[in-house]
Amino acid sequence: MHPPSSLVLLGGLASASAASAASPGDLSLVRRALPNGPSGNYSPVAVECPSTRPTARAASALSKNETSWLALRRNNTLDPLISFLTAANISGFDASSYIKAASTANVPNIGISMSGGGYRALMNGAGFLAAADSRTPDQPSAGSISGLLQASTYLAGLSGGGWLVGSMFANNFSTIVQLRDGYAGSDLWRFDNSIFSGPSDDAQDSGSSNSNTTTKKIKRADGTTEIVERGIISTADYWTDVADQVSAKADAGYETSLTDYWGRALSYQLINAPDGGLDYTFSSIALTDNFASADTPFPILVADSRAPGTTVIALNSTVYEFNAFEMGSWDPTTYGFVPTEYLGSNFSNGAIATASNSHCVRGLDQFGYVMGTSSTLFNQFLLTNLSAAADVPSFVLDIIENLLTELGDDNNDIAQWVPNPFYKYNPDTNDFANATQLTLVDGGEDLQNLPLHPLIQPIRAVDIIMAVDSSADTDYNWPNGTALRATYDRIFGDIANGTLFPAVPDDNTFVNLGLNQRPTFFGCDASNFTLTADQTVPPLVVYLPNAPFSAYGNVSTFTPSYTLAQRNGIIENGFNAATRGNGSLDSSWPKCLACAVLSRSFTRTNTTVPAECTTCFTQYCWDGTLNTTKVETYEPTLLLEGASSLDNAAASLVGGWGKAVIVATSTLLVLML
């Protein structure tokens, strides 16, 4: 069983480098999320409120904006869905006739969930999205799931998966190939440059209008103002600029934390704009042409709350989501949303005062800060490495030390959202109703390292979730279903608010039965769910774990840099996981995935399930079998015979120092990230 010749794909995925970056004439990466922060820099600013002042709303329905957008998106998914299903070639099933005859409510509604796990999650998840994207060149003739992304309605991410989703949307919903190959003069996805050292020389000196070279007036952290015209030329300059940017936010009267520094550093690698898009906001996604016309899925990033006076993130902690329109929670604690664009405004009991001197605020939803909020686990990673890095200016370390003194050691991993947008809101249930600060942390700290929560809300009526799991649950950084299990366990508490989730087995069963080495469907039989009057059948979950197909993609969550060959190899491995080795492990995989997509629709329409789908469900659906024998050590070998293992270069990044950092950072997360 050898990998087919199409294993090297995506325009040369395994061998491309930044040297093959798009030409300056290629406009595909030029138009990005709009730089609409009103200050023109990293700091929020007070603005006049619109005539209809922003308010909080109850989480009893979708927002009017999302509802209107969905009417466009659901229609836009029809043709891609027909193409995807037709290509699957299910015998005796006319995909075109079925979809065209179905009401909107019966057309499959697809969600994609990208787990956390640092750069590992970004790269492995990128491989899946490349496989699912019809824009990806040189798709394989067998095993292809091309077009699934275009047929999907929602795309959720947290932590490292949030970097992936955020980077795509911050760069005009670019393809994975475009993001991988970068752009002349940009440090986009140049993971060979450590995030602690800053952009590379070739990214600084190319002269491209999209490089990090810029003319700007900045206020230094020491209070002086200077006009500079240069690119970042050293690690010292890099961190000086980051400190100046965060200082501007503090000087404007807003709280800052390590999350600001982490989010700023991330942005230089993930957003193709000068200084990593200083004035790019998450809400600006709603203003881009492709999102406004519903030509992309609906992006969601997830974070957890940390209740006032606590340090442990429990499974019943409130889960918050950021989307282009709103930020808030479906949980019965907060049970409300506010407009993302106006985060930073002084909300009280869901309203902004109408006094003549009461302003709205815009710009707090800075793109990097939202991505950083979803990945605050890396604040400690930042702290440890900055202290040890060479050439970081002493005044930057002094600023961070002062931040730590103010916050205390127990708050290194928080993002501060001040003013609290849910102050005095739902005081009987909201833990933060009397707090001026909403404290948010990494979206995986409650062990729900897959952002499933937004996609299982009944109001969104998602039929199927593609759950791409890049978690590091085992000693050697492979997933074992812990994230799925956490979401399943959560439905038994009051926090679930009526949501349901398919049953999933224990972690030992995942490994012993090989469920963490291949796709597995959970919740196949809709009749197995006992529903109350206000409940609906939950989505079918297609679990797609990170596994070693063509490369060892189990690199440490806390490895700060990768050679371009390692990066490309891990992306390619994710592609092979998504396509079952381009069909070499199972040529019927696209057909079986199409059957899973149709499953809930078949149930609603009382359609006889095609025989080939019945065979697929027998093959891929978890049948309830358990094998709870304790797994002592899990060290899988490559699943594709003859595949390159990158000379085991990626494998060398797995243990040792990286594992020690995980243990030192948070014992809660040793088995999760």
Give the pLDDT score at 590.
98
CA distance 579 to 125: 13
Give the pLDDT score at 311.
72
Q: Is 538 helix (H, G, I), strand (E, B) or coil?
A: coil
In a domain, 53, yes or no: yes
Cβ–Cβ < 8 Å for 542, 642: no
Give the pLDDT score at 664.
27
Residues 269-274, mean pLDDT to the nearest whole number: 93
Cβ–Cβ < 8 Å for 511, 631: yes
In a domain, 506, yes or no: yes
In a domain, 556, yes or no: no
The amino acid that residue 236 corresponds to is A
Q: How confident is the model at residue 109 (pLDDT cuts 50, 70, 90)?
A: very high
CA distance 252 to 267: 21
CA distance 516 to 509: 9
Cβ–Cβ < 8 Å for 227, 216: yes
pLDDT in tens, 373-397: 999 888 778 877 877 776 888 888 8
607 secondary structure, DSSP code: P
Q: How confident is the model at residue 405 (pLDDT cuts 50, 70, 90)?
A: low
pLDDT in tens, 112-164: 999 999 999 999 999 999 999 999 999 998 999 999 999 999 999 999 999 99
Give the pLDDT score at 595.
98
In a domain, 277, yes or no: yes
Count of domains observed in the chain:
1
- Bigger pLDDT: 221 vs 491: 491
CA distance 347 to 240: 34
The backbone region for 501, taken as left when phi is positive above 0, alpha when psi lies in -120 to 50, beta otherwise, is beta
- Could you give phi then psi for residue 316, rounded to 5 degrees? -95, 15
Please give the residue range of the domain that contains residue 642.
5-551+561-669
CA distance 616 to 510: 19
CA distance 372 to 262: 6
In a domain, 621, yes or no: yes
Give the pLDDT score at 220.
43
Cβ–Cβ < 8 Å for 157, 451: yes
Give the pLDDT score at 351.
96
552 secondary structure, DSSP code: -
Residues 269-288, mean pLDDT to the nearest whole number: 95
| pLDDT at residue 280 is higher than 70 | yes
Residue 218, CB half-sphere, CA atoms under 13 Å: how many? Answer: 21
Give the pLDDT score at 628.
98
Q: Is 305 exposed, middle or buried (0-12, 13-18, 19+ CB in 10 A)?
A: buried
Give the pLDDT score at 69.
98
Token pair listed for 590: 């696209």
Residues 426-437, mean pLDDT to the nearest whole number: 96
pLDDT in tens, 185-215: 789 999 999 888 888 765 543 333 344 444 4
In a domain, 17, yes or no: yes
Give the pLDDT score at 203.
52
Give the pLDDT score at 611.
98
Q: How confident is the model at residue 592 (pLDDT cuts 50, 70, 90)?
A: very high
- The DSSP line for 380-424 is HHHHHHHHH-TT--HHHHHHHHHHHHHH-GGGTT-EEESS-TTTT
Give the pLDDT score at 533.
83
Give the pLDDT score at 663.
27
Q: Which residue has the tokens 């016309």?
A: 293
Give the pLDDT score at 541.
98
Give the pLDDT score at 662.
27
Pairing type for strands 520-522 and 540-545 reads antiparallel
CATH number at residue 484: 3.40.1090.10
Cβ–Cβ < 8 Å for 240, 261: no
